[in-house]
């Protein structure tokens, strides 16, 4: 990060005849803020996202050589995927299954950019665009496998209480979904087993009520509880 800051400052200061980047930085009031040295744990939230994105990109792209246009399209799609993840419920209304995402804050609105077949490009760029979209789809599938386990908290074998409560909004992960689409549901009822563990719940989705094992559910990123054992 420090190296990128120095290089960007040098580049901007050397562009005497081209002030586009300089004006953009000033207009958006870009400011660099650093953690103290030897304190990478203070950026744990975004460092975890960087780690998963970098790991998946390395696996998906591999040794492929992407030109600037394909790389730009791919990074835009990756940005849409990561920033479109649900973080926390918007309200306590039992009929409201909306979750807050980083895109709401970045765009001050709920609508996301269209993906997949909704996008149109000139015929001369269609092959490049399709290639970038294919890689983005592969990223989506691989990234989910890396991201979703971080939302599941491991519980000790003697813990009899759980973090599943009626009214909670959860992610349902038992079926593949198109890129950047998340299946959300609100827990209606928890069903404890004879040993006191909750292994299944009833979840209300937008279209139906489902019974699912908790192994197929994830709590949202911004929801944390500390229940006593």
* pLDDT tens string 6-64: 777 776 666 554 567 677 777 777 777 777 777 766 777 777 788 888 889 888 888 78
Instruction: Annotate 14-50 with b (16+ C-beta within 10 A) or e (fewer).
Output: eeeeeeeeeeeeeeeeeeeeeeeeeeeeeeeeeeebe
- Could you give the CA distance from residue 158 to residue 169 in angstroms, rounded to a whole number? 26
Instruction: Annotate 165-182 with b (16+ C-beta within 10 A) or e (fewer).
Output: eeebbbbbbeeeeebbee
Q: Give the SS3 label for residue 188.
A: strand
Domain ranges of the chain: 1-31, 169-219
pLDDT, average across residues 71-98 = 86
Neighbours of 150 (CB within 10 A): 13
- CA angle, 24 as apex, 132 and 32 as ends, to 5°? 90
Name, in order, each residue with C-beta under 8 angstroms of 57's C-beta and a sequence gap of 6 or more. 78, 139
What is the per-residue pLDDT for 158? Answer: 39
What is this structure's pTM? 0.68
Q: Per DSSP, what are the bridge partners of residue 187? A: 203
User: What band does 120 get if pLDDT is binned at 50, 70 and 90?
Assistant: very low
pLDDT (tens digit, 9 = 90+) per residue, 131-174?
A: 888 899 999 998 988 888 888 754 444 344 567 889 999 999 98
What is the per-residue pLDDT for 140? Answer: 92
- Could you give the CA distance from residue 214 to residue 200 in angstroms, rounded to a whole number? 5
């Amino acid at each position: 990060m420090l190296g990128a800051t120095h290089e960007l400052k040098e580049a901007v200061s050397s562009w005497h005849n081209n002030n586009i980047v300089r004006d953009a930085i000033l207009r958006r009031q870009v400011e660099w803020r650093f953690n103290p040295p030897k304190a990478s744990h203070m950026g744990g939230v975004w460092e975890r996202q960087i780690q998963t994105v970098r790991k998946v990109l390395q696996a998906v792209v591999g040794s492929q050589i992407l030109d600037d246009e394909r790389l730009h399209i791919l990074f835009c799609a990756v940005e849409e995927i990561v920033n479109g993840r649900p973080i926390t419920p918007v309200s306590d209304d039992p009929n409201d299954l909306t979750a807050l995402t980083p895109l709401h804050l970045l765009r001050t609105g709920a609508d996301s950019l269209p993906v997949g077949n909704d996008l149109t490009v000139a015929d001369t760029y269609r092959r490049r665009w399709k290639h970038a979209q294919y890689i983005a789809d592969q990223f989506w599938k691989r990234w989910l496998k890396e991201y979703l386990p971080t939302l599941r908290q491991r519980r000790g074998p003697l813990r009899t209480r759980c973090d599943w409560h009626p009214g909670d909004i959860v992610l349902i992960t038992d079926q593949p979904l198109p890129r950047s689409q998340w299946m959300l549901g609100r827990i209606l009822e928890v069903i404890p087993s004879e040993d006191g563990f909750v292994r299944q719940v009833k979840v209300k989705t937008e279209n139906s009520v489902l019974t699912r094992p908790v192994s197929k559910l994830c709590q949202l990123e911004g929801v944390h509880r500390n229940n006593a054992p």
